Amino acid sequence: MGGPPAPHGGQGCGPPHPPLQGHPRRPQAQSSVEGRDGQDPALGERIHPDGPEIWAQVVHARDHEWAETVDDVLRRRTTLTVRGLGTDEVRAGVQDLLVRKD
């Protein structure tokens, strides 16, 4: 239970969602949280409650990966859209962070 079966009958490879200490494939986002923590602690919160991505990943994508559009973030830098988590509320929050230059 709790995810797809492991290949060759082995045990699963961990919890379905990693802890909020950055994303496993995007450790750079953790530095965005740490560098801005005093300014906006909300950057450490999840973008969507059903996904592991945090708001600092949007800031990191904007500042370091040249993300310019909501789809750049939701489709190319995260898998939120693929997993059906790119809601109107999420899209609005991403847009807000993309236009802010704090």
CA distance 100 to 90: 16
Task: Look over the chain and give the mean of its residue pLDDT values, rounded to a whole number.
Answer: 76
What pLDDT is attached to residue 101? 75
Which residues lie closer than 8 Å to 79 by C-beta, 6 or more apart? 51
Residue 55: Cβ-neighbour burial (10 angstroms; 0-12, 13-18, 19+) = buried
Q: Give tens-digit pLDDT for 51-84.
A: 999 999 999 999 999 999 999 999 999 999 999 9
Provide Rg for the chain, Cα atoms: 15
